[in-house]
Amino acid sequence: MQWYSISPSTDEKIIGTFPQTDGMGPGYNLKGANSVWNLPNLRKPDFEPDFDCFRLDKKAKLTDVISTAIISACGFIISDKLKNVFDEFKLPPHIYYPVKILYKKEMISNYYWLHFTDDNTKDIDFQNSTFELTHPLPFFRNDSIILEGKEFDILTVTKLANPDYKFFTKRLKSQRPQNKDFVVFDFLYESFYISDKVFKALNNNSITGIKTLLQEIFMEF
């Protein structure tokens, strides 16, 4: 099976400007207890988040995935069209929160925040997997560290000793083999991966605002 990494598009010909959001709506309190700033990473919030509303930059275009720098938690702003595509596949544990988009003085309500409440790190067989720790930008890569057959705590300590480097996967094997079409690895530089089935579905439905890259890695999931 082929795997693709996915992320919000940075191509300004498609999205207008990156990120597409330019803050929240008038009167929104980002420091409030239920603000999107307080969304926890990879767990369910213990409060009802206030998503009213994301303001798009005047240069931004409306796409199926909307890039934002406002939320640091693991997830995406997606259209109902993309939600319907994802609903055909098995995703990691997640919650959909309805959100509103303020676009050219028009309030648009057919969007969601896809919030992941867990990732697939626990499914990895680290003893039979290989990772590369290197700088995320190719022109800064003077060297790299290959970590093969190492436990996750060893990977973590190595990363702490090399804070400018990011993890990339070279070979990844699951210790809980099962059919998966969407996986999330929060500790990797490229965190989100989809199978070729999902990739084809995105293309068949002309999903916009998303960047997909074929990964030349061996992944057993």
Look up the pTM and report it: 0.92
What region does 109 belong to: left with phi over 0, alpha with psi -120 to 50, or beta?
alpha
HEC-encoded secondary structure of 10-60: CCHHHHCCCCCEEEECCCCCCCCCCCHHHCCCCCCCCCCCCCCCEEECCCC
Residue 221's pLDDT is what?
Answer: 66
Residue 177's pLDDT is what?
Answer: 58
Residue 186's pLDDT is what?
Answer: 94
Encode pLDDT of 9-62 as tens digits: 999 999 999 999 999 999 999 999 999 999 999 999 999 999 989 999 999 999
For the chain, which ranges sit under pLDDT 50?
A: none
How many CA atoms lie within 13 Å of 125's alpha carbon, on the beta-carbon side? 11
Residue 10's pLDDT is what?
Answer: 96
Residue 163's pLDDT is what?
Answer: 92
Give, as one character, the DSSP assignment of residue 124: B
